[in-house]
Structure 1
Amino acid sequence: MQFKLKYLLFILALILSVNISAQKTKRQVLEARRIQNQKDQIYIKALLSNTKRKEKNLLNDLSDLKDKIRTRENLIKAITNESNELGNEIYLNQLKINQNKRDLEALKKAYAAMIFQSYKSKSKNSRIMFLLSSENFYQGYKRFQYMKQYTSFRKKQGEEIHKKTVELQILTDTLKLKKEQKQALLSNNKKEKELVEKEKKNQENLLSQVKKKEGKYKRQIRKFQKEEARIDALIKKAIRDAIAASNKKFGKKTSTSAVFSLTAEAKELASKFVSNKGKLPWPVEKGYVSTYYGKQPHPIVKTATIQSHGVRITTNKGSKARAVFEGTVLAVQVMSGNKKMVYIQHGNYITVYKNLENIVVETGDKVKTKQIIGTIFTDRITDKTILGFVLSKNTNTENPRNWIYKM
């Protein structure tokens, strides 16, 4: 029965140890995520604070505020997750402390009994008599060995008690630290929630002003969407023309195929591109997605719908656009306002970089991953620097979020 109890206690201690280790690893991930969210929040706040508009525009103000609220809410979520995980760690840590206390108490009792027994027969004469009363040499030798082992065992028990005492102290100190960390997180969370509430009230105030001129802003949105649709049509046509040219090289009828005819080298490049899905670098060194891919209600004027065939990334003034993967510059197009658009081919995949002011590549150039393509245009009125990024397989656009690392 006693053996069974010891075995069960050992299994419980092992499970606790494994759980604490697993919890620690999970919290390290959550802590890293929280720190990254804090960095994102600081970056976006600084970026928007540096934007000095020449013209007041409620839609831009609301869009900025929405980005601030979104990043702050992400931070609150990260803090909450980490705090909950820390709570689990504290619970398991307390269980471990309780188990150690029981183990230490049992060790001390056993050691005390052993010391008492040793005290009863501690005299030198009694030890000698114990050896001399042996019936033969073999028995005397065995008794001598037993005495040595008993002394060694006593020493080990003493060391084990010391080890358990130190371990208990470390666990107790760790528990105190974890509780302080959790308290700090909860305090930070409360502060962030108060700021979000404040920003949301400001947002409601701005929204009420937008509603008064909803018709005006809807017209602005339609105008912007019309221009975007025109650019999307240009992109599709440019890719179709490139497909037709590739088919012509292979002697195929251009009207029968909507996919690129590829050389063995181009097929290998496309395969490498696909194998990096979800791991491609961002087309800017630093920035955040201000418009996501797909059909969606306008973030401010909910009655208006927008269609995005790529993503829009807001970044710092003077930022450079860079290739997300090795490839060949397929085409360069000049748009209104002398803004440029660069197409890079990666086998049968095309990445498009819109809204560039100055470019440093030409059609036919071979580019490497993260190679600079050009400088992103900064709007003179809104003072915003936004890169448009499109990714397509042949003529079909794909969601860049599935391809770019942690988008």
Structure 2
Amino acid sequence: MSAAQSCKSILLLGAWLFAGLTWGQTSSQDKASLQQERDRITAQLKTTENLLTKARQNRADASSQVGLLDKQIELREKLVRHHEASIRSLERSMRGTDSELRTLEGHVAALKDEYVRMVQQAYRMKLGENPLLFVFAAEDFNQAALRFRLLQSYSEVRKQQIAQIEAAQTELGEVRVDLAEERGEVQAALNRQTQERDALRKDRSTRANLVSELRAEESRLRAAQKEQERERQRLSDEIKRIIEAELEAERASAAGEFALTPAGKIVSEAFEKNQRNLPWPVMRGVVTQGFGRQPHPTLSGITIDNNGVDITTGAGNRVLSIFEGTVSSRFDLPGAGTSVIVTHGGYRTVYTNLRDCPVQKGQSVDRGTFLGHVRGEADTNAILHFEVWKVAGVERTPVDPRKWLTAR
């Protein structure tokens, strides 16, 4: 075999190893991304399960159990879909690894064949018996020099081929180990998927039984719902009135026009740019009632209009400001505890159902400033009502808070 052919083999092996490395890096990135997503869903599911356990201890909290079960079912469905995506990714990775394995086995076989042919050619030329005799048997000096360079080339090519075979065989062993590990990961993912599907069926059955029990108390629940709706409307009206009063005061101080100050514009733009990046107002909790108009989870014919989100969490948990700003209002409302409104330029955030609130109107706050505890009896679940309003220009609009909060 010529030196040129040997160089070609080395280049081919290098290209194969680079392709395998690139595939491995992409596969590792996919696995890391899927693992991160699974950890996020699992953590939220764990929080929901803990809240549901507390809710079950209070029979009067049956309606909130339905909301938590709905959230748990939603998370389990996400986890099942995640497992399906993981299995597809692992199967793709297995196919790629299997293809690498077959390619590498063929390459090792080709390298060995080339090596055998080279040794046979060297034997025919008697290079292996006594290399110096092969040089000294030359007819003249030029031929001797040519034979000497041939011997050097032969020795180098032989070393390169041995190194190629050793490297390829090592890589072959590693790929076989990778393939065995991937097969094990696929089986583990299939087992997790089966477990989650079983748990999902159980959750759906539990929800159906709970709804059936609640139907027997429908008249009481409808009366309770009407009272809750009156409280919600009273809170909504009060928040709107206070925000409008704040804006009216700003207009009065600006000769009848509402306009953001330069500092207000900076804060407003920063808040706008932080969509999906802001922390939640509580460390642990799940959204049990989303933003906007939605059907009641158990009572037919009833819709709920929510200007924010209701986050179920543990009573007494700390409530924190999600962004820097200024406390523009703080007020109490019967049945809703203390509410705090924080101004962020052209935006307002509203935190309702607090106790032990240390902040005062006009106080500057940062991201993570303590605003109070979630109001409720010890060792029970409680709800933080959280809203985001856009009030720039002529707008006076509540917007979905989840557009600003990090994914959970």
Rounded to whole Å, the distance in 1 between the matches of 2:29 and 2:128 is: 55
2:321 counterpart residue number: 323
Contact persistence 2:56–2:62 (CA under 8 A): no
Q: Write the deviation string for residues 340-369 of structure 1: whole angstroms up to 9, x where unpaired.
A: 000000111100001101101000101011
Rounded to whole Å, the distance in 2 between the matches of 1:168 and 1:8 is: 16
2:357 counterpart residue number: 359
2:209 counterpart residue number: 205
Give the structure-1-normalised TM-score: 0.90
Contact persistence 2:52–2:65 (CA under 8 A): no
**Deviation, structure 1 residue 212:** 3.4
For 1:49, which of 26, 46, 53 is the aligned residue? 53
Rounded to whole Å, the distance in 1 between the matches of 2:111 and 2:300 is: 69
Contact persistence 1:353–1:387 (CA under 8 A): yes
Rounded to whole Å, the distance in 1 between the matches of 2:82 and 2:105 is: 34
Question: In structure 2, do the counterparts of structure 1 residues 11 and 123 end up closer, same or farther at CA, with 3 Å as the change threshold?
Answer: closer
Rounded to whole Å, the distance in 2 between the matches of 1:265 and 1:376 is: 31
For 1:151, which of 152, 155, 176 is the aligned residue? 155
Within the alignment, does 1:64 sit opposite 2:68 as a pair?
yes
Rounded to whole Å, the distance in 2 between the matches of 1:140 and 1:273 is: 82
Question: In structure 2, do the counterparts of structure 1 residues 296 and 197 end up closer, same or farther at CA, with 3 Å as the change threshold?
Answer: same
**Deviation, structure 1 residue 198:** 1.7
Contact persistence 1:340–1:355 (CA under 8 A): yes
The number of aligned residues is: 398
2:338 counterpart residue number: 340
**Deviation, structure 1 residue 55:** 4.4
Contact persistence 1:63–1:300 (CA under 8 A): no
Q: Write the deviation string for residues 199-222 of structure 1: whole angstroms up to 9, x where unpaired.
A: 211222222223334343233223
Deviates more, 1:205-214 or 1:132-141: 132-141
2:383 counterpart residue number: 386
Q: Write the deviation string for residues 296-329 of structure 1: whole angstroms up to 9, x where unpaired.
A: 1122334321111101112223211101100000
Question: In structure 2, do the counterparts of structure 1 residues 143 and 51 end up closer, same or farther at CA, with 3 Å as the change threshold?
Answer: same
Rounded to whole Å, the distance in 2 between the matches of 1:286 and 1:213 is: 31
Output the aligned Cα RMSD: 2.6
Q: Structure 2: any 5+ residue segments left out of the alignment?
A: none
Contact persistence 2:350–2:387 (CA under 8 A): yes
Contact persistence 1:320–1:376 (CA under 8 A): yes
**Deviation, structure 1 residue 58:** 3.1
Within the alignment, does 1:33 sit opposite 2:1 as a pair?
no
Q: How does 1:256-267 map to 2 (within 5 A)?
A: 260-267=258-265
For 1:303, which of 301, 312, 315 is the aligned residue? 301
Contact persistence 1:289–1:311 (CA under 8 A): yes
Give the SS at the match of 2:341. strand
Rounded to whole Å, the distance in 2 between the matches of 1:38 and 1:194 is: 16
Rounded to whole Å, the distance in 1 between the matches of 2:299 and 2:400 is: 23
2:374 counterpart residue number: 376
Deviates more, 1:16-25 or 1:313-322: 16-25
Question: In structure 2, do the counterparts of structure 1 residues 14 and 159 end up closer, same or farther at CA, with 3 Å as the change threshold?
Answer: closer
Within the alignment, does 1:186 sit opposite 2:227 as a pair?
no
1:95 counterpart residue number: 99
Rounded to whole Å, the distance in 1 between the matches of 2:199 and 2:299 is: 24
Question: In structure 2, do the counterparts of structure 1 residues 46 and 75 end up closer, same or farther at CA, with 3 Å as the change threshold?
Answer: same
Give the SS at the match of 1:101. helix
Rounded to whole Å, the distance in 2 between the matches of 1:114 and 1:252 is: 95
Q: Which letter maps to 1:31?
A: Q
Contact persistence 2:326–2:342 (CA under 8 A): yes
Within the alignment, does 1:106 sit opposite 2:110 as a pair?
yes
Question: In structure 2, do the counterparts of structure 1 residues 271 and 57 end up closer, same or farther at CA, with 3 Å as the change threshold?
Answer: closer
Give the SS at the match of 2:356. strand
Deviates more, 1:397-406 or 1:10-19: 10-19
Q: Write the deviation string for residues 249-276 of structure 1: whole angstroms up to 9, x where unpaired.
A: 11116xxxxxx42211111111111121
Q: Which letter maps to 2:38?
A: R
Give the SS at the match of 2:263. helix
2:225 counterpart residue number: 221
Rounded to whole Å, the distance in 1 between the matches of 2:336 and 2:89 is: 52
Q: Identity across aligned pairs (percent)? A: 26
Deviates more, 1:300-309 or 1:54-63: 54-63
1:399 counterpart residue number: 400
Contact persistence 2:127–2:134 (CA under 8 A): no
Rounded to whole Å, the distance in 2 between the matches of 1:36 and 1:125 is: 68
Contact persistence 1:20–1:92 (CA under 8 A): no
**Deviation, structure 1 residue 16:** 5.9
